[in-house]
Amino acid sequence: MAFKDFISEVNEETKVILSNDFKLNIVDANILPGVDDQGITYENFDNKTKGVKTISTCVLHIDLRQSTKLNLEESPAVLAKLYSCFIRGVIKCAEYYDGKVRNIAGDRVMVLFECSKCFENAVSAAILLHTFSSYILNKHFKNSSIACGIGIDYGKMLATKVGTIKQGTENPTSKSIVWLGYPANIASKLADIANKDFSRPIINVGKKYPWKEEWDWSEKEIDEFFDGLEMKYSYSIVAQFKEPYILSFFKGMRQTNYPAILMTKRVFDGFKKECPSDDSIVKGFWKPRMISISGYNGFIYCGSVYFTFDEQLK
CA angle 115, 101, 165 (to 5 degrees): 105
pLDDT above 50: residue 173 = no
Which among 124, 127, 97 is positioned nearest to 113, based on CA atoms?
A: 97
What is the C-alpha to C-alpha distance for residues 57 and 187, in angstroms, rounded to an integer?
Answer: 12
Residue type, 146: I
Please report, for the chain, the start and end positions of each structural domain, with discontinuous segments joined by +. 23-165+174-195+259-303, 198-255
pLDDT above 90: residue 310 = no
Instruction: Assign 79 a pLDDT band (cuts: 50, 70, 90).
Output: confident
Instruction: Assign 174 a pLDDT band (cuts: 50, 70, 90).
Output: very low
Q: What is the mean pLDDT of residues 211-219?
A: 90
Cβ(73)–Cβ(50) below 8 Å: no
**23-165+174-195+259-303 — its CATH code?**
3.30.70.1230
- Write out the H or E segment, with its range, that includes residue 195: none
| Listed range (1-10, 68-77, 116-125, 183-192) with the worst mean pLDDT | 68-77
pLDDT of 22 reads 95
Which among 102, 139, 97 is positioned nearest to 120, based on CA atoms?
A: 97
Cβ(303)–Cβ(286) below 8 Å: yes
Give the range with max mean pLDDT: 65-69, 110-114, 140-144, 219-223. Answer: 110-114
